[in-house]
Chain A
Amino acid sequence: MSGEVQAAAVLGGLAESEQSELSARGRRSNGPTRQGRIGLGSWLLPTYTILAFVFLLIPIVYTFVFSFNDSVKSNIAWRGFTFDKWLNVCNVEGGAVCEAFANSVIIGVVATIIATTLGTMIAIALVRYRFRARSVISLLLFLPMATPEVVLGAGLAAQFLAVGVPKDMTTIILAHTMFCISFVVVTVKARVASLDPALEEAGRDLYGSPAQVFWRVTFPLLTPGIVAAALLSFALSFDDFIITNFNSGSVSTFPKYVYISASRGIPAEANVIASAVFLFALVLVIGAQVSRAARAKRLAKLG
């Protein structure tokens, strides 16, 4: 699911290796430089692009604006501007929003740590070692991504039911880890495959023990891929509702809170939390992008 991998690359701002940056540069400079004849196409496509982005961003802007709404209970009609909701996020409904948000963060962090560890190990094994069960394992990794979430959720719930495990925070974490692993494998694998095995050989040649070679050569080189995978994993877990809904029991997460409140009206505090998360992620990603662009420029200068 390169869509997700791409998202991870953008999220991490790091996943693309330097080599690929250079080759991208080469491709760019070799490409035709034709400016395009004056015609419909020269303004139609940029105009469309702008409109498309406006469309994509409308609900985000709406959510952000309504986080400042001086609403009483449900947040539907505009009742005036206020900062109150930002300043007193946790004061509504006895802090239910904040509790759900905290749960989401905890679940996201734990699931990410487990999924990233397990997924990275699989990715390294898949690229660096040959074994017979390869295609079976590839299929096993691919299937969770090709299965609708509702099936994954119902399946796990049926399993927990059959075994008699009560649904709580643990079951949510187990579920999230499961669907994150495949995405981690795909993301990290792209990075492992782009690594030159000669670097590890050089490490061995220079008297590094296998463990030293791994921790001093392989792992640092993989870090950008792992970071991107972890960010993707956290984003997937944090925003997941469908699988969570089947396996959460009475535990609330932020998306579940929104779903349940939808029938009686979402308080503006939910908008505050979503907007804050959005701004935080945006700053993180744009910062990474800009620093990457600066690094590429520096690299270009060095030649």
Chain B
Amino acid sequence: MAVREFAERGADLELVGIQKRFPGFTAIENLDLTIPAGSFFALLGPSGCGKTTTLRLVAGLEEPTQGRILIGGKDVTSTRSHERPVNTVFQSYALFPHMSIIENVAFGLKRRRIGDPLGKAHEALRLVELDHLAQRRPQQLSGGQQQRVALARAIVNRPALLLLDEPLGALDLKLRRQMQLELKTIQEEVGLTFLHVTHDQEEAMTMADTVAVMNKGAIEQMGAPAELYDLPKTAFVANFLGQSNLFSGEVAGSTDTAIAVDAGGARLVVPKARAHRHNGAVTVGVRPEKVSLHVEAPVPSSERNVLGPGRVLDVSFSGVSTQYLVDVPGHGTILVFAQNTGSGPSVGVGAEVWASWLVEHGFGLDDGAVEVERFAADDSTTSIAAQRRDDLVAELGEG
């Protein structure tokens, strides 16, 4: 084996028409994805959506049933895992328990016969500030330290592509924040291509340049985090990435710049530029923090959509903001986040209120009419209990 060179920079990753079937189910149905070199890309989705399978396909730990995988323009579909310029930070870290930390980190370098493996390994450990623990065994380290070692063990190889499989899942909140920051810094320093798989929308949004939301083996929407949040394309994205108030109805009129939707008797205006569909049955929505509450009927205006009157069902105070659940007849329950700046009205349960938002804050989904999910489930313990029970029953049914 010749002395190999490091990949000097990140490489593009391209997945073409990937399909992955397991006995009994299909994990991925026709996936196309291009991740440009040097980006920090997050694959976001609920458990079972196929994101981890995607990662394992890229790492070479699974073979696609169909389709091709290209790294830096080179077809690696049939290249075995140990011959791919890819490294993974495993969810379980998978640090070798029979080796010291430094041996773990130098493992990949030694396999590739890269010069001065120990020196480079120490350097990588310094980067994650753990060089003083180099002689310890993995079991002697805390979860956060193990995570950093796993990261060092992967990046020391300067892979063209670094895969992160929910690496922060096992950490507590504070450590997570710290690690998120560290990952971001390292990515900027080394300039590798990162593919990060997670079910934590906040983690995906704070870290990635591009987020792809995955559901049921396919990508629902892809783009910059702010873009996805601002203009979700599907009901799934609208509710997986933050929460949304969604209203279904027919397009009742349109101008050059906006469409008006008749949703349960109310007229909701959405700018055409912010709507994925312009006619027929559509679903429009607005983020809870964009909605204002009024104790008196607001003056009708072409700049605001108004719903109401409704009744406040629940108020929960969380410090910086207060969350209101408002039942508006004909529209269901509306969720409102009000910043506690002291300027808004303070209302109690049972108060009569109106909700309004600026036309340019609304968005129109690509979905057509959808069964709009409501949030009431979160607020009553009985419904939580019922939901938990249903989940458990479903889970047991699978077992």
Contact = CB atoms under 8 A, between A and B. Distances in A.
Bind each other? yes
A301 B393 CA distance: 11
Interface in B98-150: none
Q: Chain A's interface: helix, strand, loop or mixed, by majority?
A: loop
A34 B62 CA distance: 6
A168 B396 CA distance: 60
Interface in B343-399: 392, 395-396, 399
B63 A303 contact: no
Contacts of B399: 300-301, 303
B80 interface: yes
A31 to B, nearest CB: 11
A303 B61 contact: no
Given A300-B399, A303-B396, A303-B399, A37 B61 contact: no
Nearest to B396: A303
Contacts of B396: 303
Contacts of A301: 399
A150 B56 CA distance: 55
Nearest to A37: B63
A34 B61 contact: yes
Nearest to A25: B399
A34 B52 CA distance: 13
Interface string A12-38: 000000000000000000001111010
Given A32-B61, A300-B399, A303-B396, A37 B80 contact: yes
Interface in B46-96: 56, 61-63, 80
Contacts of B56: 32
B188 to A, nearest CB: 33
Nearest to A299: B399
A112 to B, nearest CB: 39
A25 B62 CA distance: 22
A7 B372 CA distance: 59
Nearest to A33: B22
Interface string A32-52: 111101000000000000000
Nearest to A38: B63
A270 B80 CA distance: 56
Contacts of A37: 63, 80
Contacts of B62: 33-34
A152 to B, nearest CB: 35
Nearest to B22: A33
Q: Which of B56, B395, B399 has the most C-beta atoms of chain A within 10 angstroms of its own C-beta?
A: B399
Nearest to A29: B399
A70 B303 CA distance: 107
A2 B180 CA distance: 45
Contacts of B392: 303
A33 B392 CA distance: 24
Contacts of A35: 63
A47 B227 CA distance: 56
A32 B63 CA distance: 12
Nearest to A301: B399
Nearest to A35: B63
Interface string A275-303: 00000000000000000000000001101
Contacts of B22: 33
A41 B80 CA distance: 15
A35 B62 CA distance: 8
A32 to B, nearest CB: 7
Contacts of B395: 303
Interface in B291-313: none
Interface string B20-48: 00100000000000000000000000000
A34 B22 CA distance: 9
A41 to B, nearest CB: 12
B78 to A, nearest CB: 9
Nearest to A302: B396
A16 B378 CA distance: 41
A222 B22 CA distance: 41
B119 to A, nearest CB: 33
Interface in A163-186: none
Interface string B270-289: 00000000000000000000
A121 to B, nearest CB: 34
Interface string B253-272: 00000000000000000000
Contacts of B80: 37
A181 B96 CA distance: 38
A37 B82 CA distance: 14
A297 to B, nearest CB: 11
A301 B395 CA distance: 11
Nearest to B78: A37
Nearest to A32: B61
A32 B22 CA distance: 12
A265 B300 CA distance: 112
A12 B352 CA distance: 71
A37 B64 CA distance: 11
A300 B395 CA distance: 11
A34 B57 CA distance: 10
Contacts of A303: 392, 395-396, 399
A33 B57 CA distance: 12
A156 to B, nearest CB: 41
A30 B251 CA distance: 48
Nearest to B91: A30
A299 B290 CA distance: 50
A208 B63 CA distance: 59
Interface in A28-82: 32-35, 37
B52 to A, nearest CB: 11
A34 B61 CA distance: 7
A35 B61 CA distance: 10
A149 to B, nearest CB: 34
Contacts of A34: 61-63
16 contacts: A32-B56, A32-B61, A33-B22, A33-B62, A34-B61, A34-B62, A34-B63, A35-B63, A37-B63, A37-B80, A300-B399, A301-B399, A303-B392, A303-B395, A303-B396, A303-B399
Interface of B: 22, 56, 61-63, 80, 392, 395-396, 399
Given A34-B62, A300-B399, 10 more contacts: A32-B56, A33-B22, A33-B62, A34-B61, A34-B63, A35-B63, A37-B63, A301-B399, A303-B395, A303-B399
Q: Which 8 A-B pairs have the closest CB atoms?
A: A303-B396, A300-B399, A34-B62, A303-B399, A34-B61, A33-B22, A32-B61, A37-B63
